[in-house]
Copies of this chain bind each other. A is one copy, B any other.
Amino acid sequence: MTASIHDLGTPALLVDVDALDANLDVFSEALPGPRLRPHVKAHKCTALARRQAERGHEGFTCATVREMIGMAEAGLGADLLLANEVVDPVRLRSLAALDARVTVAVDSAETIRAAADAGIREVLVDVNVGLPRCGCPVDRAGPLADLARKSGLVVRGVMGYEGHVVGNDDRAAREAGCEASMQLLLQAHEQVGGDLVSAGGTGTYDCNRWATEIQAGSYALMDTAYTKLGLPLGQALFLWCTVISVSEKFAVADGGLKSLGMDHGNPHLPDGGKLWFCSDEHITFAGDPSKPPVRVGDRLRVVPAHVDPTIAYHDRLHLVSGENVVDIWDVDLRGW
Please give the residue numbers on chain A whose beta carbons come within 8 Å of chain B beta carbons, in ascending order. Answer: 9-11, 41, 63-64, 84-88, 90-91, 107-108, 110-111, 128, 132-135, 137, 163, 242, 244-250, 252, 254, 257-258, 261-263, 276-282, 284, 295-297, 306, 308-309, 312-313, 315, 335-336
Q: Are A245 and B280 in contact (CB under 8 A)?
A: no
Extra A-B contacts (18), CB below 8 Å, given A108-B246, A134-B244: A9-B88, A9-B90, A41-B281, A63-B281, A107-B245, A111-B296, A132-B250, A132-B276, A132-B284, A133-B282, A134-B282, A163-B279, A257-B309, A258-B308, A258-B312, A263-B278, A280-B308, A312-B313
User: Which residue of chain B has its CB nearest to the CB of A257?
Assistant: B309
Q: Which residues of B contact A335 (CB under 8 A)?
A: 315
Residues A247 and B278 in contact, CB atoms below 8 Å apart: no
Q: Is the CB of B133 within 8 A of A279?
A: yes
Contacts of A296 in B (CB 8 A): 85, 87, 108, 110-111
Q: How far is the CB of A33 from chain B (nearest CB, A)?
A: 26
21 contacts between A and B (CB under 8 A): A9-B91, A10-B336, A63-B281, A87-B296, A108-B246, A108-B296, A110-B296, A110-B297, A132-B249, A132-B250, A132-B276, A133-B279, A133-B282, A133-B284, A134-B252, A137-B247, A254-B336, A257-B306, A258-B309, A258-B312, A261-B262
Q: Tell me the minimal C-beta distance from A305 to chain B in angstroms.
A: 11
Residues of B close to A85: CB separation below 8 A: 244-245, 252, 296
Residue in chain B with minimal CB distance to A279: B133
Say yes or no: A84-B263 contact (C-beta < 8 A), given A258-B312, A306-B257, A308-B257.
no
In whole angstroms, what is the CA distance A308 to B281 when docked? 10
- Chain B residues lying within 8 Å of A336, measured Cβ to Cβ, are 9-11, 254
A315 to B41, CA, bound (A): 18
CB closest residue in chain B, given A135: B245
Contact B84 A281, beta carbon cutoff 8 Å = yes
The answer to whether A280 and B63 touch across the interface, beta carbons within 8 angstroms, is yes
Please name all residues of chain B whose beta carbon is closer than 8 Å to the beta carbon of A244 when the two chains form the complex: 84-87, 111, 134
User: Inside 8 A of A252's CB, which chain B residues have their CB?
Assistant: 85, 133-134
By beta carbon, the residue of chain B nearest A248 is: B137
Chain B residues with Cβ below 8 Å from A254 are 84, 336
User: Would you list the 10 A-B pairs with minimal beta carbon distance, nearest first?
Assistant: A110-B296, A85-B244, A262-B263, A134-B245, A258-B312, A257-B309, A63-B281, A280-B308, A257-B263, A87-B297
Closest to A298 in B: B87
